[in-house]
């Protein structure tokens, strides 16, 4: 029996920190969410680098790190804002040195995806970070792709790759990256835009996104995570994106809400990320529930789960608990995750039918 009428647990500290408040979730809700067939559309593969793997790779590759154990790393994972996080995240990527490292990183994520019944993933990667350290584009993408193909064969998980441009760099660098990607065109589904949002508006990347359109890529962009609603408008109007990553600030602009609803533009929300980066003080304040009630096509995702204290199921569980979502709303989030994906229509339908079967056969008592 799920009793979601109780006061939701406090969830304002990092759940992997030693000093976190213990959070007791409802076991029936936990199981319903974990077994729920779902897709993840917003996860940075570099953000799945767990402290243990980071330290192992540092040793294996003789990369100096100032952190001697996982506790020290977890202590460092306290962020005041997005830039605080990005500084640590980019440093962490320095332990990824060869194709095998990217393969193992991606394999570990996909194994976790399998444990949460994630049937489809759309994985972001940041080639500019690695190429600036002297790695070849082929090294990065080959390792990630190899793990995705293995998971497709072994577990039946489908994966798409999203190549993200770093918005703190200039557009010329993004063009060079798009050119490097040309040899791997069949492996890449979409182009994205991430990194430091404030001061780096989508309009800065207008030409390279136009070129990506000509080359037939799908397009996404982080917008309205820390930046204003105006950046979401720019992503839609100037970059012609198919989806918005985050988009929290859309609620500041009623006209934007109408546009997002009428066009059913998906928003890939990341509740624990927003909590850890202090975009919100508590999950009660997250815009998810309000967005759902206003008919927006929202999905739940983990963003950088090794840094933010939870993979996709944990994000769903935490936000469903804090916002007292009912069974139908949780099912809608799972349905949206497939609808908003870049899968072809027959595959989407197959996954959605599977989800419907789960809904028909699985009960859950919610308010």
- What stretches of the chain show up as alpha helix (H) in DSSP? 27-35, 51-60, 70-76, 82-92, 99-115, 127-131, 137-155, 171-181, 206-214, 229-237, 254-263, 271-276, 288-293, 305-308, 312-322, 327-339, 345-361
Determine which residue in the list 2, 33, 53, 82 makes contact with ligand ADE, applying CB under 6 A.
82
Could you say whether residue 226 binds Zn ion (CB under 5 A)? no
State the burial class of residue 75 (Cβ atoms within 10 Å of its Cβ: 0-12, 13-18, 19+): middle
- Residue list 97-156, contact with Zn ion (CB under 5 A): none
Which residues face 192 on adjacent strands? 164
Distance CA 299, CA 338 (A): 9
- Residue list 316-355, contact with ligand ADE (CB under 6 A): none
Q: Which is nearer to Zn ion, 122 or 303 (CB)?
A: 303
Q: Which is nearer to ligand ADE, 26 or 194 (CB)?
A: 194
Q: In angstroms, what is the minimal distance from the CB of 325 to Zn ion? A: 22
Catalytic residue among 104, 122, 225, 226: 225
Could you say whether residue 225 binds ligand ADE (CB under 6 A)? yes
Of the candidates 242, 185, 178, 35, which has an alpha carbon nearest to the alpha carbon of residue 118? 35
Q: Which is nearer to ligand ADE, 106 or 195 (CB)?
A: 195
Catalytic site residue 293?
no
Residue 223 phi/psi, 5-degree rounding, is -160, 140
Could you say whether residue 46 binds Zn ion (CB under 5 A)? no
Q: What is the dihedral of CA 118, 12, 54, 134, to 10 degrees?
A: 90
Q: Which does 195 bind (CB under 5 to 8 A by kind): ligand ADE, Zn ion, none?
A: ligand ADE
What number of chain residues touch Zn ion (CB under 5 A)?
Answer: 1
Binding mask 267-306 for Zn ion (x = CB under 5 A): ------------------------------------x---
Residues binding Zn ion (CB under 5 A): 303
Q: Which residues are catalytically annotated?
A: 225
Residues binding ligand ADE (CB under 6 A): 44, 47, 82, 89, 194-195, 222, 225, 273, 303-304
């Amino acid at each position: 029996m799920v009793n979601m009428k109780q006061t939701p647990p406090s969830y304002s500290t990092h759940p992997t920190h030693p000093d976190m408040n213990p959070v007791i979730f409802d076991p029936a809700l936990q199981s319903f969410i974990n077994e729920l067939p779902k897709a993840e559309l917003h996860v940075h593969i570099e953000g799945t680098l767990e402290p243990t793997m980071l330290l192992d790779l540092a040793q294996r590759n003789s990369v100096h790190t100032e952190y001697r154990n996982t506790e020290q790393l977890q202590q460092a994972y306290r962020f005041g804002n997005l830039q605080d996080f990005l500084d640590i995240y980019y440093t962490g990527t320095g332990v990824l040195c060869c194709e095998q490292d990217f393969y193992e990183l991606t394999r570990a994520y996909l194994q976790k995806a399998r444990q949460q019944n994630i049937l489809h993933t759309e994985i972001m990667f940041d080639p500019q970070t690695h190429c600036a350290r002297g790695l070849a584009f082929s090294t990065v993408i080959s390792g990630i792709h190899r793990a995705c193909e293995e998971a497709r064969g072994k577990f039946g998980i489908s994966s798409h790759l999203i190549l993200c441009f770093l918005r703190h760099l200039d557009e010329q660098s993004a063009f060079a990256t798009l050119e490097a990607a040309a040899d791997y065109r069949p492996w890449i589904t979409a182009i994205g835009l991430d990194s430091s949002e404030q001061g780096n508006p989508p309009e800065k990347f207008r030409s390279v996104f136009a070129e990506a359109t000509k080359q037939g890529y799908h397009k996404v962009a982080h917008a309205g995570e820390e930046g204003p609603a105006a950046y979401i408008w720019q992503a839609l109007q100037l970059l012609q994106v198919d989806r918005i990553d985050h988009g929290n600030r859309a609620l500041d602009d009623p006209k934007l809400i109408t546009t997002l609803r009428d066009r059913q533009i998906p928003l890939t929300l990341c509740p624990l990320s927003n909590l850890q980066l202090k975009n919100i003080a508590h999950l009660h304040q997250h815009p998810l529930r309000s967005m759902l009630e206003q008919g927006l096509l929202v999905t739940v995702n983990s963003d950088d789960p090794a840094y933010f204290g939870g993979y996709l199921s944990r994000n769903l569980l935490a936000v469903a608990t804090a916002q007292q979502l009912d069974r139908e709303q949780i099912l809608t989030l799972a349905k949206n995750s497939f609808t908003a994906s870049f899968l072809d229509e027959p595959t989407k339908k197959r996954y959605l039918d599977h989800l419907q079967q789960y809904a028909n056969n699985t009960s859950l008592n919610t308010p």
